[in-house]
Amino acid sequence: MCEKSCAECRKLHEECGVFGIARLSDDSVDVREETRYALYALQHRGQESCGISVNDHGVITTVKDVGLVPEVLCNDRLETLPNGQMAIGHVRYATTGSANAINAQPIFIRHAKGTLSLAHNGNLTNAAAIRQEYQNQGIVFHTTNDTEVIAYTIAKERLTSSCIEEAVEKTMEKIVGAYSLVILSPRKLIAARDPMGFRPLVIGTLPGGGYVFASETCALDAVGAKYLRDVKPGEIVEVFEGKLQTYKQGKDRAEGFCVFEFIYFARPDSVLEGQSVHRARKLAGALLAKAHPVDADVVIGVPDSGLDAAQGYAAESGIPYGVGLLKNRYIGRTFIQPKQSQRENSVKIKLNAISSTVKGKRVVMIDDSIVRGTTSQRIVKLLRDAGASEVHMRVTAPPFTNPCYFGTDVDSKENLIACRMSHEEIEKSIGVDSLGYLSVEDAKKLAPDSDCGFCVGCFTGEYPVDTAGVRHKDKFEEKLKKL
Nearest to 483 by CA among 131, 176, 72: 131
Sequence letter at residue 243: K
Q: How large is the angle between the packed helices 146-158 and 164-174, nearest 10 degrees?
A: 130
Is 419 catalytic? The answer is no
CB 60 within 8 Å of CB 108: yes
Of these residues, 6, 16, 258, 404, which one is catalytic?
A: 16
Give every CB contact of residue 53 below 8 A, 6+ residues apart in sequence. Answer: 60, 61, 62, 87, 88, 89, 106, 108, 117, 119, 184
Residues forming beta bridges with residue 245, ordered by sequence position:
238
Q: β-pairing, 390-395 with 362-367?
A: parallel
CA torsion sign for 125, 65, 342, 329 is: negative
* DSSP per-residue codes, 28-50: -S-HHHHHHHHHHHTGGG--SEE
> Element (H or E) spanning 344, and its range?
helix 340-350
Q: How far apart are CA 426 and CA 135, in angstroms?
A: 46
The half-sphere exposure of 77 on its side-chain side, counting CA atoms within 13 A, is 15
Residues with a known catalytic role:
16
